[in-house]
Amino acid sequence: MGYAELISKLEALPSEKRAEVFEFVEFFAARCDSATANNASRAEVAAQTWNNFNERSGSFAEQHSTL
């Protein structure tokens, strides 16, 4: 289904049903934004934890490199 067909179906809905669809889309978009922000936050925490470990213990690659 293309955007034009989707828009025409939305326009054919009664106004109260259209409002429900828009409300759902807003809810879904907010949920997706929240999940993205949560994933970014977790990645930042993981990176900081890894960096702290490297500062205390040294890099695994530095300790075990064959070069």
Q: Looking at residue 26, what is its pLDDT?
A: 92
List pLDDT tens digits, range 14-64. Answer: 999 999 999 999 998 988 888 888 888 889 899 999 888 888 887 777 777
Cα distance between residue 10 and residue 14, in whole Å? 9
Q: What's the chain's length in residues?
A: 67
pTM above 0.85, yes or no: no
Whether pLDDT at 67 is above 80? no
Phi and psi torsions of 6, nearest 5°:
-65, -45
pLDDT of the residue at 21: 92
Per-residue pLDDT, averaged over 1-24, amounts to 91
The three-state secondary structure class of 15 is helix
| Cβ(10)–Cβ(18) below 8 Å | yes
Domain boundaries, the chain: 14-64
